[in-house]
Amino acid sequence: MIVRILGEGQFRVDDDVAAELNQLDTELESAVEHSDEDKFTTALASLLAQVRAQGAPLPADILEASDLILPHEDSSMDEVRKLLTDEGLIPG
Amino acid sequence: MYMKGTAARMGVMKRVSLVFKAKANKALDKMEDPRETLDYSYQRQLELLTKVRRGVADVATSRKRVELQMNQLQQSANKLEDQARKALSMGREDLAREALARKSSAQSQLNDLQAQYAQLQAEEEKLTVASQRLQAKVDAFRTRKETIKATYTAAEAQTRINEAFSGISEEMGDVGMAIQRAEDKTAQMQARAGAIDELMASGALDDLGGHRDDIQSELDMISSGSDVESELARLKGELTASQRKQIEGSGANGGPQAAQAQQPQQAQQAQQPQQAQQAQQPGPYAPPAPQYTPPQQPQQAEQYQPTQAGLPVADLPGLGGEPQDGDG
């Protein structure tokens, strides 16, 4: 599957790696729900590190939508909340 | 399983990607003829490319401004340290303290700017890469657009257009956000840069123009004062030497141990000119030799030397306030 890290680009990731990512993503989501800043920072950093380590960067000229999209590495919890709503940060 | 959770347990990654897809679909739905979407979208891609390139240039401009300020602050810090050193050598610890306080302030601004500089540099790199990536996607889109238009009827084209469109639209959303972030950062930096410019103009971090640099002007005053004074001391010394046939300025640079410890012994033990000469040789303060005349009365040399030695050093700090130097 294809995972995008916002601000960095897309990666092709094996499905079994995606299961691992999902585990971390659950932590990330619960951190956002509980406004737990420390947990949020840790979970996001682990997620991104995992994608970078396990994924292969997708060539820039491949035009495919991603299955999963991850926030910027220096995103705040507030930015992530906005990303999750349609009114959020995505322009146009 | 991981992809098919309920909305409550979908996870951040999936939800974000759905938000992106919803945006793309909304835009697609507005178009009556799907092929029209292709041209319209392509126009917007080109606009975004222009925008991201302008973004790179803007960040670079900000970075250069910060760089310039860093250089100025570094010069200030160096200059203030020189001034502190000079002030200390003139016995003006108060001035040295002031110079060092300003240096520390300049230094902390500098550290702050260094962090900002690194951020801007990172932002510039990110945007540059984003612009290259977008360019590649836009090229791919153009190729695909032509193929779709040439090969398929409007109905057949739909699926392929959707694919191409959602791919490019995600990239555009990403780049759009990157530009926004870069703009926000740049705006913050510019506000800070403006504040530092004001601080520098106020002289609080030392004004490099010099006209407001009170530390330097005081140092100049002292040193021109001390120039006058040392000239005066030299002239006095010459006068005294010719009047009393003494060694001119022999004590100016110190060496009191040699002068004080050995000369009394000479006076007591033997009053021969040769020994008086020897007493001066080991000292580092050897006076201008040409004017030397063998002392006829060693006891008097002893009396005059401390007076002359005391002159330049003792009078230095006090001279700052005296009106010899009219341009303060």
- Distance in angstroms (rounded) separating the CA atoms of residues B140 and B144: 6
Q: Is B46 on the interface with A (CB under 8 A)?
A: no
Q: Is B64 on the interface with A (CB under 8 A)?
A: no
pLDDT (tens digit, 9 = 90+) per residue, A37-74? 999 999 999 999 999 999 999 999 999 999 999 999 88
- Report whether B70 contacts B121 (CB < 8 A): no
Instruction: Look at strands A2-5 and A9-12 and give their pairing.
Output: antiparallel
- Give the pLDDT band of residue B246 (cuts 50, 70, 90): low
Scanning B156-215 for CB atoms below 8 A from A yields 163-164, 166-168, 170, 172-174, 176-178, 180-181
Measured in whole angstroms, the distance separating CA B278 from the mean position of its chain's CA atoms is 54
The pLDDT value given to residue A53: 94
In angstroms, what separates the C-alpha of A67 from chain B's closest C-alpha?
A: 6
Q: Which residue has the higher pLDDT, B204 or A54?
A: A54
- Smallest CA-to-CA distance from A11 within A52, A71, A46 is with A52
Q: Is B15 on the interface with A (CB under 8 A)?
A: yes
Secondary structure (3-state) at B1? coil
Q: Is A92 on the interface with B (CB under 8 A)?
A: yes
pLDDT (tens digit, 9 = 90+) per residue, B216-243? 777 777 776 776 677 667 777 877 787 7
Q: Write the residue in A18, A63, A89 that is nearest to B141 by C-beta.
A: A63
- Distance in angstroms (rounded) separating the CA atoms of residues B246 and B302: 10
pTM exceeding the 0.80 threshold for the entire prediction = no
> Which residues on chain B are in Cβ contact (under 8 Å) with A68?
13-14, 16-17
The ipTM is 0.89
Q: Which residues pair with A69 in a beta bridge?
A: A4
Phi and psi torsions of B172, nearest 5°: -65, -40
**Are the beta carbons of A89 and B180 separated by less than 8 Å?**
yes
Run of H or E including B127: helix B93-151
- Distance in angstroms (rounded) separating the CA atoms of residues B138 and B162: 15
Using DSSP, how many helices (H) and how many strands (E) does chain B show? 9, 0
